[in-house]
Chains A and B, each alone.
Chain A
Amino acid sequence: MAGKHPDPDEHEEMESLVVASVLDALDRRQQAEVDAHLATCPRCRTLEASLRETAVEISAGLESAPPARLRVSVLDAVRAEAAASSPTEARMRPSRRAVIGSALALAASAVVATGVVLSRPGRSEEDQEIARVLTAGDARLYSTTWESAQVTVVHSASSAASVIEVRGLPPAPRGRDYQIWSMSPAGPEDAGLLRPDADGRARLRIGSHAAGGTAVSLEPAGGSEQPTTSPFIAVTYS
């Protein structure tokens, strides 16, 4: 679907799809097509936002207080998540970031001093793995663009890994996530979610034994086991 629909019939059709999307009345494939269109069409995004406010009114009057045990259970679960290591940079408090920063520095100096990684907390391990791919002797760089986004993939066969970096990627539409796929001979393998920060940037390591390429598709929030939409970014290793 293109980003423009000047034809009145086409506009009406698009309007129907946006309405059905707001009502969650599309199957997954149709929904993915609408999401891809919305990512490129400000006019339809405006329509969507306005209709989402209208949809709020459909369930006004159906209020039903959940049992008190649910409140306890939800707040416990949220407290537990907040206490555990924070899943996103954005939610990280400065103190935590400083701790991770010094752990990184410590791990890095351990590598320099002994050539052996003595301490590898989660995030520093990820950063080291990324550095290893980027500096591998056989690293090859591939780049492509999608709309305003610049996509760079560095693949190292000897590391059996790749690193994907995006810049200028708009946030995924509500209730959707970008999902990365490692294209192996057996088919696409889940390689994690791509969540751009406020500046549209993200960098992720992809384990890719025998992979022939990398792709990114738009999926329902949390990702899918197999792609449900056509990838909008695809890189084939040569």
Chain B
Amino acid sequence: MTPPPEDLASEDAKIPAPASPDALRDAILSVAAGDADSFAGLYDATSARVHGLVLRVLRDPAQAEEVTQEVYLEVFRRAAGFDPARGSALAWILTLAHRRAVDRVRSSQSQSDRDVAYESRANTQEPDPTGEAALATLEAQRVRTALEQLSERQAEAIRLAYLDGLTQTQVADRLGIPLGTAKTRLRDGLLALRRIVSAPRQRKEE
């Protein structure tokens, strides 16, 4: 029997196990050195993270696909600018991805498309097509716990800013709070999240 063609297999494409930070770093450095073949491995190891983030921000599968493609072309073109001393490969890639997704959200046409798409989904109560809940990993549970350890107000502000793509001014408007209060919640929230996610590692080092 012949194996199914790739397109059919994609219907429930598997999420590969997360690659180690070192493997991702080496893959980007290889791409930067001119080895375009390393790019496939880099894509396979990170595309579920990139696409998942972009889809969450844009809430529109067609646009998420477009933006994900743009992100990977940018990763390829800018690979030579990646400096491992300045941070992890995943942080570098997701920074590019988040910025592109947010830029797309803030173009007005895209905003209205997104609202329409979101409205229709919210109204019909379709099952979550991305299966987010089913794909939750241990890592995510750690972070969910971490977000839960933030005050609900801090977590809400961070979700509105990072996952809904709002500016801090829009966060303040949405929540009906002064801008200064929104800024404080975002700052205290992200600083607290940093303490929470880095806590186990620090204990190990001690």
Contact = CB atoms under 8 A, between A and B. Distances in A.
A binds B: yes
Interface of A: 12, 15-16, 19-20, 22-27, 49-75, 77-79, 81-82, 86-88, 90-93, 171, 174-175, 220-221
B153 interface: no
B114 interface: no
Interface residues of B, number: 82
12 contacts: A20-B183, A49-B86, A51-B190, A58-B147, A59-B52, A59-B94, A59-B163, A61-B140, A62-B56, A66-B13, A78-B39, A174-B92
Contact of B48 (A15, A19, A63, A174): A63
A219 to B, nearest CB: 12
Interface in B98-145: 98-99, 102-103, 130-132, 135-137, 139-141, 143-144
Contacts of A58: 143, 147, 158, 162-163, 193
A175 B96 contact: yes
A53 B95 CA distance: 10
Contact of B15 (A57, A63, A175): A63
Contact of A82 (B10, B36, B74, B143): B36
Contact of B130 (A25, A57, A64, A93): A64
B82 to A, nearest CB: 9
B99 A175 contact: yes
B186 interface: yes
Q: Is the interface of A mostly helix, strand, loop or mixed?
A: helix
A73 B48 CA distance: 16
B17 to A, nearest CB: 11
Given A23-B190, A25-B186, A71-B47, A56 B74 contact: no
Which of A49, A51, A71: most chain B CB closer than 10 A? Answer: A71
Nearest to A88: B80
A64 B52 contact: yes
Nearest to A61: B140
A78 B53 contact: no
Given A15-B187, A16-B186, A91-B32, A50 B194 contact: yes
B167 A27 contact: yes
A23 B65 contact: no
A175 B197 contact: no
A79 B88 contact: no
Contact of A53 (B87, B144, B162): B87
B144 A61 contact: yes
Contacts of A92: 34
A49 B91 CA distance: 9
A93 B73 contact: no
A25 B161 contact: yes
Given A75-B43, A90-B80, A174-B92, A63 B73 contact: no
B52 A69 contact: no
Contact of A61 (B9, B55, B136): B136
Contacts of A72: 6
B162 A23 contact: yes
B127 to A, nearest CB: 14
Contacts of A59: 49, 52-53, 56, 94, 162-163
A88 B166 CA distance: 35
Contacts of A68: 6-7, 9-10, 13
Contacts of B144: 61
A55 B190 contact: yes
A74 B6 CA distance: 15
B1 interface: no
Contact of B34 (A60, A93, A175): A93
A16 B73 CA distance: 31
A54 B194 contact: yes
Contacts of B9: 68
Nearest to B102: A24
Contact of A67 (B10, B83, B190, B197): B10
Nearest to B133: A61
A175 to B, nearest CB: 5
